[in-house]
Amino acid sequence: MILVTGATGHIGNVLIRELVARGKQVRALVLPGEPCDSLSGLPIEMVVGDILDPDTLDRWMKDVKLVYHLAGIVSILPGDEEFMYRVNVEGSRNVARAALKAKVKRMVHTASVHAFRREPHGVTMDERTPLSPAGTAGAYDRTKAEGVQAVLEVVNEGLDAVIVCPSGVIGPHDYFGSEMGELVKTFATGKMNFIVNGAYDFVDVRDVARGMILAAEKGRAGEKYILSGEQVSLRWLLNKTQQIAGRRSPTVLIPYNVALFFSRYTHYFYRHLKKTPQFTPYSLKTVVENSRFSRAKAEKELGYYPRPLEESIRDYLAWRAEYYQKCYDKKAGKAKSRTWKAGKAENPG
């Protein structure tokens, strides 16, 4: 039996699809009341629990041989620091300790390239780059680094665990709108776009899932593996997305300092709308700073090779169009059914 935490998330549901396709038995850990649309129809065991509750972890670790730990909080907004620490650090420690207690054969912990210290431009970051638990970039970086350290502490106690560090994940089956997916979606709408002169490394979610499986099969205990893709400028991403979508729209290149000034205030407005702004101090810092990562270690030791980014964009847009059409048809069908039932009630004879 394989246990997957964070099962409903973008990487989580794609990983489960890949495992099911390989004939594996999967137990998906979901939060109480959590929407599970992304797992609908999959032949898996879904159980309710919380990585912040060690008792439920002990219960669902029974008969588990392999754990993929993906549950975590990704937030680029201020104000989420305490909750991020609890989930990304304390939660990861809880999962690792429960896995050790249950004598699980292997755990694959999902971190991020942001767990590493941000190096200046011109330096390629790899697994030898120090972790950044005291990083100044933001709470997300710090908690992902501390989460890795928490898992490695349990590795020193005897747990067999491997750590994977994806870059910016995009691709199909993005049911709840990841930040990277929302960026591509925005670029494809044909509306006016505002960008800064920056770049980032993007990787296909399907390649990350397969990289995690390779890490489980071939990774060395206690080792970290960067699962990166292709570094491109925001301008390239915008142009390629619009080319694939068949849309063109006006684009405004905003100076970094101007975007940074306004980003310090717009998050209050977006938080009220329950949306994630395109520009926050953290996201701006991320795209203007160095984002050059090496995946050489994963290629050599795991056999990990990501697909071209253009294919990822194309497949994401195709999946999104199909998924939202299904959602529209489903809503239209329910509305038609309600109208028909109302008509029958008014004219029973």
Q: For the stretch 254-274, what's the b/e string if a residue is b when 16 or more beta carbons lie within 10 angstroms of its beta carbon?
A: eeeeebbeebeeebeeeeeee
3-state helix/strand/coil string of 72-95 = CCCCCCCCCHHHHHHHHHHHHHHH
Do 164 and 69 contact (CB within 8 A), yes or no? no
Give the pLDDT band of residue 337 (cuts 50, 70, 90). Answer: low
3-state helix/strand/coil string of the chain = CEEEECCCCHHHHHHHHHHHHCCCCEEEEECCCCCCHHHCCCCCEEEECCCCCHHHHHHHCCCCCEEEECCCCCCCCCCCHHHHHHHHHHHHHHHHHHHHHCCCCEEEEECCHHHECCCCCCCCECCCCCECCCCCCCHHHHHHHHHHHHHHHHHCCCCCEEEEEECEEECCCCCCCCHHHHHHHHHHCCCCEEECCCEEEEEEHHHHHHHHHHHHHHCCCCCEEEECCEEEEHHHHHHHHHHHHCCCCCEEECCHHHHHHHHHHHHHHHHHHCCCCCCCHHHHHHHHCCCCECCHHHHHHHCCCCCCHHHHHHHHHHHHHHHHHHHHHHHHHHHHHHHHHHHHHHCCC
Angle at CA of residue 311, ends 10 and 164, nearest 5°: 45
User: What tens digit of pLDDT does each residue of 108-139 get?
Assistant: 999 999 999 999 999 999 999 999 887 667 88
Out of 26-30, 162-166, 167-171, 330-334, least confident range: 330-334
User: What tens digit of pLDDT does each residue of 242-294 get?
Assistant: 999 998 888 988 998 888 877 776 655 555 555 566 677 888 889 999 999 99
User: In this model, does residue 72 exceed pLDDT 80?
Assistant: yes
Reference 226, options 106, 309, 109, 112; nearest CA is 112
Measured CA to CA, the distance from residue 274 to residue 280 in angstroms comes to 15
Q: What phi and psi values does residue 56 have, to the nearest 5 degrees?
A: -70, -35
Q: For the stretch 28-48, what's the b/e string if a residue is b when 16 or more beta carbons lie within 10 angstroms of its beta carbon?
A: bbbbeeeebebbeebebeeee
Most confident of 31-40, 252-261, 340-349: 31-40
User: What tens digit of pLDDT does each residue of 165-215 get?
Assistant: 999 999 999 998 888 898 899 899 878 888 899 999 999 999 999 999 999
Tell me the mean pLDDT in the region 4-17: 97
Instruction: Please report how many Cα atoms fall inside a 13 Å half-sphere around the Cα of residue 150, on the Cβ side.
Output: 25
Percent of the chain with pLDDT over 90: 70
Mean of all residue pLDDT scores within the chain: 89
Most confident of 24-28, 34-38, 253-257: 24-28
User: In this model, does residue 80 exceed pLDDT 60?
Assistant: yes
For the chain, the domains span 2-325
User: In this model, does residue 318 exceed pLDDT 50?
Assistant: yes
Reference 18, options 30, 4, 29, 32; nearest CA is 4
Give the pLDDT band of residue 344 (cuts 50, 70, 90). Answer: low
Q: Could you tell me the CATH superfamily of domain 2-325?
A: NAD(P)-binding Rossmann-like Domain (3.40.50.720)
Token pair, residue 115, equals 């767990």
68 vs 279 pLDDT, higher one: 68
**Residue 299 Cα distances to 107, 146, 294, 312, angstroms:** 20, 26, 10, 19
User: What tens digit of pLDDT does each residue of 211-238 get?
Assistant: 999 999 999 999 999 999 999 999 999 9
Give the pLDDT band of residue 349 (cuts 50, 70, 90). Answer: very low
